[in-house]
Amino acid sequence: MIPRYSLPEMDKIWSDEARFTHWLEIEVLVCEALAGQGQIPAAALKTIREKARFDTKRILEIEEEVKHDVIAFLTNVAEYVGPDSRFIHLGLTSSDLLDTTLALQMREAGKLILGELRNKVLPAVKKRALEHKDTIMIGRSHGIHAEPVTFGLKLALWYDELNRRAAWLENAVQSVSLGKISGAVGTFAHLDPSVEGYVCEKLGLQPAKVSNQIVQRDVHADYMTALAVLAGSLEKFTVEIRHLQRTEVLEAEEFFSKGQKGSSAMPHKRNPIVCERLSGMARLVRGNCLAALENQALWHERDISHSSVERVILPDSTLLIYYMLKKFGSLVENLLVYPENMKKNLDRLHGLIFSQRVLLALADKGLSREDAYRIVQRNAMRVWKEDVDFLRTLLTDNEVTAVISAAELKELFALEVHTRHVDYIFRRAGLLD
């Protein structure tokens, strides 16, 4: 990931230094397990523990020659350990190191993402939802005014969705936390399964129940899909903000800081640049998810067509999601909301937003639904064409006034009916006690 979107706490997880540190830890743990079984002398284990280390620059130099990262690593470690290095990597294959380390990195990255989501983003959304629980605005379907909602209900919907995303990601992190120390094709031909059990227990991983040369990539695809759907949710929310920020709407707006510039050409511009950036990033995560799905089908006990892909998509996707959550949390916290514009837009259709109430009332008076719909739509189309008041139009329609009084009609144009269950919805979403 380019430095512009890389945050240091996530970047560190995927660094060469972190990867080699995990490799060394795994190799030492395997030696401990083998020493416990009498396969490595205690003195050799002591030497390995004391002397085993690595130099990242040196590993990369060796890799230039041998064209194999694990061999380069082992060669460098041997330079520090000396003759007892012959006991390192006994019975292992490269993927024992690679996949067990990858599980540790994906778990650590997932926990960092979950921490940001649960500790920062969800509380920010909850706070703003409660703040605007009763802030009335127009709801839209197909981009067209439908019926009244509250801005808080929009945020409550986001809150509920983000809780689902957190639950799926938590399960995906658990599923991918699998270690593998089972040898070349997963048969434990040169290692007792107890070695794998010892190493995984020390690392807090579950041993893969069945593996070949690798941990199967369905769990990685599940993890990546969880990230992609989370990215899609964030994009959905930011697209909503982008629509609400349009000049003709202007019901909500990204915070525009002092000294910020919106356009190199037009000094008046205040653009939703963070929202647009997050929309673009979601496309990257979705594309990476497709690559993860394609990684599932490998030849026989393995090939390495997945390897180059994962070196890119896993660091990049976790870096992107983490960055997106950081930006989205700040976006929500500082979002500018304009209730007066919401009220203005609510009134733009001169009462047409109450058409369903009128339809139901006429049906309740004994008209067929078809006749009631015809009458209401006829008057509604007149409002669209002539820009007149809907209630007044209904009051001049003999078919309407023949079955319903003026007082009853006026009561149908009350906003309260649309907000009476807001508290119920908030409680169901866990936003109210």
SS3 state of residue 141:
strand
Q: Which residue reads 């009561």 in tokens?
A: 411
Instruction: State pLDDT tens for residues 234-248.
Output: 999 999 999 999 999
Q: Is residue 420 part of a domain?
A: no
Catalytic residue (one of 141, 142, 264, 268)? 142
Check residues 285 and 2 and name the one with the higher pLDDT: 285
> Which of these three, 47, 69, 87, is where a domain ends?
87
Same domain, 8 and 70: yes
In angstroms, rounded to a whole number, what is the distance separating the alpha carbons of residues 118 and 162? 9
Q: What angle do CA 247, 329, 283 make, to 5 degrees?
A: 75
Q: Is there a contact between 190 and 90 (Cβ–Cβ < 8 Å)?
A: yes
User: Phi/psi at 171 (nearest 5 deg)?
Assistant: -65, -40
CATH of the domain at 171: 1.20.200.10
Q: Is residue 199 part of a domain?
A: no
CATH of the domain at 49: 1.10.275.10
Q: Is residue 171 part of a domain?
A: yes
In angstroms, rounded to a whole number, what is the distance separating the alpha carbons of residues 361 and 369? 10
Q: Is residue 10 part of a domain?
A: yes
Q: Which residue reads 């002397």 in tokens?
A: 51
Instruction: State pLDDT tens for residues 383-427.
Output: 999 999 999 999 999 999 999 999 999 999 999 999 999 999 999
User: The pTM is what?
Assistant: 0.94
- The confidence score (pLDDT) of residue 382 equals 95
User: With pLDDT > 90 as the criterion, what percentage of the chain qualifies?
Assistant: 96
Q: What is the DSSP letter of 312?
A: H
The packing angle between helices 122-131 and 151-176, to 10°, is 160
Range of the domain at 106: 94-178+213-345
Whether 142 is catalytic is: yes
| Average pLDDT rounded to a whole number, residues 92-97 | 96
**Helix or strand run (H / E) with residue 149:** strand 144-150
Same domain, 168 and 19: no
The packing angle between helices 94-116 and 16-36, to 10°, is 120
C-alpha radius of gyration, the chain, whole number: 31
In angstroms, rounded to a whole number, what is the distance separating the alpha carbons of residues 433 and 412? 31
In angstroms, rounded to a whole number, what is the distance separating the alpha carbons of residues 288 and 285? 5
Catalytic residue (one of 194, 263, 305, 368)? 263
Q: Is residue 42 part of a domain?
A: yes
Same domain, 71 and 124: no
CATH of the domain at 402: 1.10.40.30
Q: Which residue reads 């009763």 in tokens?
A: 134
Whether 305 is catalytic is: no
Same domain, 148 and 232: yes
Per the structure, the count of domains in the chain is: 3
**365: pLDDT confidence band, cut at 50, 70 and 90?**
very high
Same domain, 173 and 252: yes
Pinpoint the alpha helices (H) of 246-304: 273-294
